[in-house]
Amino acid sequence: TPRFVGPYQIIQRVGLVADRLALPPSLSNLHDVFHVSQLRKYVHDPSHVVELDDVLVKENLTFEKLPVAVVDHKLKKLRGKSIALVKVLWDAATDEATWEVEQ
């Protein structure tokens, strides 16, 4: 699942730290103003073409990200109970990993 989709043209500066984007009709369910920290400068590369249909945005504006691997585990004590945690690698390209409760 891609972290970013686009590129989309910035059509207006909104305040000091937000921009309004020209989004396609297929993304009409999204708010069109984004904080600048959520935007990235686009560097053209023909291999970066991502079909919008590949990003399955749900009605509540979320998408499912599947884990790549479990890279670590530990037990955490909380109020006298042991909670099993696993470190899940979500994106091998960026080494994005988070601690999650083991299921």
Instruction: Give the pLDDT band (50/70/90) at residue 60.
Output: confident
Q: Is 88 in contact with 94 (CB distance < 8 Å)? A: no
- Whether the pLDDT of residue 53 is over 60: the answer is no
Query: Average pLDDT in the 47-71 region?
Result: 71
Q: What is the structure's pLDDT at 8?
A: 86
| pLDDT of residue 37 exceeding 60 | yes
Question: From CA 32, how far away is CA 57, in angstroms rounded?
Answer: 15
| Contact of 7 with 42, CB cutoff 8 Å | yes
Q: Could you tell me if 102 and 86 are in contact, meaning their C-beta atoms sit under 8 angstroms apart?
A: yes
**Structure pTM?**
0.42
- pLDDT of the residue at 17: 93
Mean predicted confidence (pLDDT) in 66-91: 88
Residue 40 DSSP SS3: coil
Q: What is the mean pLDDT of residues 64-72?
A: 83
